[in-house]
Amino acid sequence: MDIPDALLGKIVLTITLSAFFVILVWVNLTPLIDEGVTNGGKTTLASKLAELLRPSAVLHQDAYFYPDDSPNHIKCPGLEHNNYDIITSLDMPKMLNDALAILQGKSDIKLLSTTGKLFCPGKNFLIIEGFTVLNYKPLFDICDLKYYLVLEYEECLRRRFNRIYDPPDIPGYFEQIVWPEHVKARASLKDAPGLVILDGSKDLLPKVLADLRALGVREDERS
């Protein structure tokens, strides 16, 4: 296809900027992502990493739910309740934009943990956690490390009942919605490249730290 001379510079500029953007994401900041079954330990792991890594920022998927009365929500069949366990219940484009803004240094979100003992020269860290973040390909594609945390049904149910939700779960919501949606989300990631499955009932920090050290993360001997 012939490219008009008037468009040639613009097309080359677009390609050049795209290539630079990819390099910027992977070189200047190391995004980490962890997803998994509800109450599988995602937030706990993310918080521990944020305390140890410097400098770091954290994005929590729960902060991107649409308001309860949003037309984006889908009602659960047979239940007078929104389905909060599908990706369409969340403003994922906004979450992606926030992640990219952090990567590009254009975000108002401040980098945390400037006193953490683990660092990598020339790198910052972005930690993304949530229950369907890996099912959103634009986020999946920008991350260096990707973890999916799993639990057995009974343990997941026990942890779920020990937490308070707003709005609260209605009878049957876990059995009819939460667990089946988790099963579908995990199945869709069966062949996802670079995805590591971890047992959410165990201490996951040593495994993740070992992976980070393989990327050049080390401990500040002065700390």
Q: Which of 2, 34, 62, 144 is catalytic?
A: 62
Please give the pLDDT value at position 21.
19
Q: What is the mean pLDDT of each run of 10 residues along the chain (223 residues)?
A: 33 24 29 56 79 86 95 94 96 93 77 74 85 89 86 86 84 92 89 86 89 88 67
Task: Specify which residues 125 forms β-bridges with.
Answer: 30, 56
144 is catalytic: no
Burial of 13 (0-12, 13-18, 19+ CB in 10 A): exposed
Task: Determine, yes or no, domain membership for 55.
Answer: yes
Number of structural domains the chain divides into: 1
Task: Determine, yes or no, domain membership for 101.
Answer: yes
What SS3 state is found at 102?
A: helix
Torsion of CA 122, 123, 124, 128, to 10 degrees: 170
CA distances in angstroms from 61 to 4, 73, 128, listed in the order given: 44, 16, 8
Q: What range defines the domain where residue 83 resides?
A: 21-113+123-213
**What phi and psi values does residue 75 have, to the nearest 5 degrees?**
-75, 145
pTM of the full structure: 0.79
Supply the DSSP symbol for 81: S
CATH, residue 64: 3.40.50.300
